[in-house]
């Protein structure tokens, strides 16, 4: 049995990324099918597309749940009645690829259906609470969080942040240890030579999990949110700027970085919108603009740390 953000997952394959736990019953089960799955008739309702418009993930809906097709890699059937996930992998897909798709894509989408808000974010823990870096793919959130974590601010997650309501605010949940970084980012955050593992054959990213990258294996009060701009193309002379956002602007930005398994599920979308609305009223949200240059990462990291320490004093 394994734990991922407070959820117990029984898996028939080893999950070295996750912490083992003793539990009477799992919340979800995971298995790999020996032959291609013949799912119930699915209604395809959504597609994620990548560069050049190529299909990356297709979403299908059927009476018992969902079919998630990661083109060229694997199919995942999510059965909501049995609380089970079954995967059929294509020949090229290694177990490392299957684990990556399950942990970093499927589980965030599955968790978004419960009474949680699931954000595309990296987060660190500070003495005053968790601070999240929220943004789209390529905005640098994992690299920024890993750089700050290497100075002693433990990671809670590097790409998926699960937020739950608590008395008087919100709790930021820990996801699983480590960070997924491209080789140049590994070097930039000072982790060259640290043992790492492949994310999968389709990606050059390395999964770093080391004592030099501390991890907080528990929830922390959410103290603040930085919204990162996607793939900045700015002058290398530009310095870091933090601009507080109004509740309205923060809400719009947050909506664009939230995981949803099915935007047609009006009840789940409504629950998420209500949580987002309360979060932006109760938690400081700011726009973080910074020079996205790895040769200036140390400067950017130090500016963020000074800001965090100023708020702690």
Query: Nearest CA to 242 among 228, 232, 223?
Result: 228
Biggest alpha carbon–alpha carbon distance for the chain: 59
- Statement to judge: residues 307 and 226 lie in one domain: yes
Among residues 95, 111, 127, the one where a domain terminates is: 111
- Statement to judge: residues 76 and 221 lie in one domain: no
Quote the mean pLDDT of the chain: 88
pLDDT at position 48: 87
Distance of CA 55 to the CA centre of its chain: 21
Query: Nearest CA to 82 among 101, 60, 110?
Result: 110
For residue 236, pLDDT over 70 is answered with: no
Burial of residue 134 (number of CB atoms within 10 Å: 0-12, 13-18, 19+): buried
pLDDT at position 198: 82
- Statement to judge: residues 87 and 73 lie in one domain: yes
For residue 179, pLDDT over 50 is answered with: yes
- CATH number of the domain that residue 146 is part of: 3.40.50.300
Among residues 56, 78, 111, the one where a domain terminates is: 111
Which band of pLDDT confidence, cut at 50, 70 and 90, is reported for residue 313? very low
pLDDT at position 148: 93
| Interval 136-178: pLDDT, tens | 888 889 999 999 999 989 999 999 999 999 888 899 999 988 8
Which band of pLDDT confidence, cut at 50, 70 and 90, is reported for residue 231? very low
Which band of pLDDT confidence, cut at 50, 70 and 90, is reported for residue 235? low
| Interval 81-103: pLDDT, tens | 999 999 999 877 888 899 999 99
- Statement to judge: residues 185 and 278 lie in one domain: yes
| Interval 6-64: pLDDT, tens | 899 999 999 998 988 887 789 999 999 988 876 666 688 889 888 788 899 999 988 88
pLDDT at position 237: 56
CA 183 vs CA 105, 190, 209: distances in Å: 22, 11, 14
- Statement to judge: residues 272 and 226 lie in one domain: yes
- Statement to judge: residues 181 and 302 lie in one domain: yes
- Statement to judge: residues 87 and 186 lie in one domain: no
The Cα 196–Cα 214 span in angstroms is 15
- Statement to judge: residues 206 and 265 lie in one domain: yes
pLDDT at position 93: 81
The stretch 177-195 carries a mean pLDDT of 89
What percent of the chain stands above pLDDT 70? 95
Structural domain of residue 286, as residue ranges?
117-312
- Statement to judge: residues 123 and 99 lie in one domain: no
pTM of the shown model: 0.90
- Statement to judge: residues 11 and 79 lie in one domain: yes
Among residues 111, 144, 171, the one where a domain terminates is: 111
Which band of pLDDT confidence, cut at 50, 70 and 90, is reported for residue 281? very high
pLDDT at position 40: 61
First to last CA, the chain: 41
pLDDT at position 292: 76
- Statement to judge: residues 305 and 184 lie in one domain: yes
- Statement to judge: residues 11 and 123 lie in one domain: no
| Count of domains forming the chain | 2
What H or E segment, with its residue span, contains residue 275? helix 266-282
The Cα 93–Cα 74 span in angstroms is 7
Given a contact cutoff of 8 angstroms between Cβ atoms, the answer to whether 272 and 260 are in contact is yes
pLDDT at position 280: 95
């Amino acid at each position: 049995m394994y734990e991922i953000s407070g959820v117990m997952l029984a898996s028939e394959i080893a999950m070295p990324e996750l912490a083992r736990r003793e539990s009477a019953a799992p919340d979800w089960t995971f298995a790999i099918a020996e032959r291609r799955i013949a799912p119930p008739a699915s209604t395809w309702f959504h597609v994620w597309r990548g560069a050049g418009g190529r299909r990356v993930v297709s979403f299908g809906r059927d009476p018992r749940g969902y079919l998630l097709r990661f083109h060229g890699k694997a199919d995942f059937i999510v059965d909501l009645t049995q609380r089970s996930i079954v995967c059929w992998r294509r020949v090229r897909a290694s177990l490392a690829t299957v684990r990556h798709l399950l942990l970093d894509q499927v589980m965030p989408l599955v968790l978004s259906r419960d009474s949680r808000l699931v954000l595309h974010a990296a987060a660190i823990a500070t003495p005053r609470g968790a601070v999240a870096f929220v943004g789209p793919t390529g905005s640098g959130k994992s690299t920024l969080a890993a750089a700050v974590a290497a100075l002693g601010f433990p990671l809670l997650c590097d790409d998926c942040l699960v937020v739950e309501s608590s008395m008087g605010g919100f709790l930021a949940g820990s996801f699983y240890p480590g960070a997924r970084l491209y080789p140049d980012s590994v070097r930039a955050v000072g982790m060259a030579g640290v043992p790492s593992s492949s994310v999968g054959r389709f990606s050059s990213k390395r999964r770093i999990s080391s004592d030099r990258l501390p991890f907080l294996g528990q929830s922390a009060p959410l103290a603040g949110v930085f919204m990162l701009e996607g793939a900045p193309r700015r002058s290398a002379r530009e310095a870091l700027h933090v601009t507080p956002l109004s509740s309205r602007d923060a809400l719009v930005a947050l909506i664009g970085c939230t995981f949803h398994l099915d935007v047609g599920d009006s009840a789940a979308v409504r629950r998420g919108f209500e949580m987002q609305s309360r979060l932006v009223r109760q938690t400081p949200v700011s726009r973080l603009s910074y020079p996205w240059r790895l040769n200036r990462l140390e400067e950017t990291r130090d500016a963020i740390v000074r800001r965090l320490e100023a708020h702690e004093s």
